[in-house]
Chain A
């Protein structure tokens, strides 16, 4: 065991609903990643400004605050282009064209396994 363990990829979960956020953090951690949380877009941006090691943001769309998750995803793509994006929403009308390029969309309720598979593919 002399290989230096590769640092875990860091996933920022942005979700205003406490229980759903707890579930999302849990699924990210169980899949072997480091998970950090934000309850809205403003919190997420503060974290992103402080930490430069975030690989992927998994965000809800409908959230209180100055930006919803859709605007947040575009903001992140502009400001931190390498960060991968997964967007989830209970509204089914979000089309791929509304998302930043390369972002993945899941309708709620998402299947945890689908999210894990996508994270694995995107941060590989």
Chain B
């Protein structure tokens, strides 16, 4: 569903992402982890078509993002860590507007259940500017889901959510994957990644450090066998001797 080959992004002399290749199959949840400045957001933004890669190809649902950007974008949803909303539109209007942009009038039938699922039903006539940070995040998620994307790109999706919201969000992500969506989830919450993701991509300095299931990653490093993702991550990124317990 997502095929990234040799993705490279340069900002002047700065190499944000270098020769990164990975794929995500339908129903799979790929966890994208890395230290600050590793290139996670640049990778997500490149795959979402927000920024243009310097080199490499990205195929979304069989469409080359560079050659058929509209078809590729129609298949995906990108939910950023900081909700990007129009403060002058209401909750319901955001969803109506999104349905119209994606030319899916039938998506309007999904608005009610989606608002129910994300506990926004009582706020559907509220302006985005009146919502709390967590509510805004839920609305951004709702906008990402209303057109039933086949590919879901999530950047720190749990930021600002309360414990109930976190649990619901985790269920939503898992349910979307079970329904056949390919999901890329970037997060610093390694427990979340370990719990939800079928495979993990660890990047550092814009380069791939490891890619695979937890078992595949530790196969080549027997000393990490039986350890959690946090230990594996710290070890692979050279922070295992950071002195932390």
Do A and B associate with each other?
no
Q: Report A's interface with B, CB cutoff 8 A.
A: none
